[in-house]
Amino acid sequence: MSTSEALAKMADHSQVEIPQDARDKARELKWDEGLIELALSKGHTLQEVWQALRGNVNGETAKQFLAGGSMVRPDFWWMKVPTEWGIKARPADKEMGLTIGDLNIGTYGDIPDVWNNRSEIARGSYPNPINEDMGYTIFEKAVIWADCVVPLYEIAIRDRWISSTDLRWASLEVLPDDIEKAVCQLMTEQSDRAYYEGALLSGWLPEISYGYHEVKFFLSTVIYDVARHCEAFRKRALSNGGGLGLQAPTDFSRAAQEARSFPELAAILFVQDSMLLTLFKNGDSIAQNQLERDMYALVARDRQRLMDYHIERMKHFLFKMPDRREEQNLYLAKAEGRMVKDWADPVVSEPLAILLGGGRDKIEAGQAKLAELRKQQVQQYVDDLESATFFRKGLNGRFQDMLKS
């Protein structure tokens, strides 16, 4: 390349800001003035320049390389980064094997309250001097952390199930038309809710910085779980002579979609996830066959892990940020109001009443049993909040009425 061509390309890179400490290091290594700009003009990145400087490549070697000559033997400077060495992680529980918790030893187990690095650096590795902002927005441990995510992740990947083979689809028998329609409507609603929760969490996962990878791992299992639930519910609706029913109400989903922060989203989902867990734990009372009983039990097992996270996260959050305790009442009130509205919709309440009563002609008995179920759901929700050290102020009036009935 001629000098004029090199200068032209250098001009193209005049907008690249070269840090002063990079220039100082280059001067120390006797790099000619303009050599950094020349490297950039030849297509090398500023990060590559930094790597050369950190590797103590002298000016003559750098000039020879840029001129197309051969490089001297590398000194493997990347082997000299000051990370903790000599680590031998061992399983604490032989049955569980080597878990992500077993890796949190030495400095690798230091999980800071605030993670400032905006790149996708693995916690414990040595940072490059220049890295790109990857768009993370959640850097405070208190907002998303719960100690239980470490064991819950391991349990989640161990306890995964497959709806296509773990449920005995061939065992299904024809049901009365009103019962089948009620089952299919309930399956349609629950498939919708599972799908949407997974979609919501998927959207928030990239916001959490890489410093808290254990939380990201666990939430990934939750997304996978609810996808499986969506699939299983849909299969049940389409496997016994029925079909999908009416779309589920979207008022609650809208409230979750409108969340502007992770604490708001978590508080809103706390309401729904507590209520749904109680519903699935009562699966025997609405199931019409063994397949449905097995399905509800498996879903409840998955949902219990999510609820454990909700409780521990809120407890940790309130302990670390007590000034944000009252704020939670706003989010919970919004979610409770939307839940009450959903429950009042015949599309939600009538299928359950039919299944609980044993048929459309026994709807009154079913409605009485549904009232008991709703009371149990609300009471468990209040108990879950108390387990998270949160004592609800201003519980929704309709919920209060249910507890008194």
With 0-12 / 13-18 / 19 or more C-beta atoms within 10 angstroms meaning exposed / middle / buried, residue 106 is middle
pLDDT for 235 equals 98
A 10 A CB-CB count for 244 gives 15
Residues composing the chain: 405
Alpha-carbon distance 27 to 23, whole Å? 6
For 64, the token pair is 């020879």
- Which pTM does this prediction carry? 0.83
Alpha-carbon distance 144 to 148, whole Å? 12
DSSP for 49-109, please give it.
HHHHHHTT--HHHHHHHHTT-PPPPP--GGGG-----------SSTTT-S-TTTT--GGGG
Residue with tokens 């089952």: 183
What SS3 class is residue 159? coil
Alpha-carbon distance 54 to 78, whole Å? 9
User: Are 290 and 249 a contacting pair, CB within 8 Å?
Assistant: no
Alpha-carbon distance 365 to 356, whole Å? 8
141-404 belongs to which CATH class? mainly alpha
Residues of CATH 1.10.620.20 domain(s) within the chain?
141-404
Closest residue by Cα to residue 387 from 288, 277, 224: 277
DSSP assigned state of 114: B
pLDDT for 4 equals 47
* Contacts (Cβ under 8 Å, ≥6 apart) of 35: 26, 59, 62, 63, 66
- Where would I find the H helices in 321-362? 325-344, 346-357
pLDDT for 76 equals 80
Alpha-carbon distance 219 to 118, whole Å? 20
pLDDT for 3 equals 46
Query: Per-residue pLDDT tens for 296-332?
Result: 999 999 999 999 999 999 999 999 999 999 999 999 9
For 26, the token pair is 């280059």
Local mean pLDDT, 10-residue blocks, the chain (405 residues): 47 67 90 88 83 84 76 69 91 93 92 90 85 90 97 96 97 97 98 97 95 97 98 98 94 95 98 98 98 98 98 98 96 97 97 98 97 98 98 95 95
pLDDT for 319 equals 97
DSSP assigned state of 402: H
Alpha-carbon distance 99 to 155, whole Å? 10
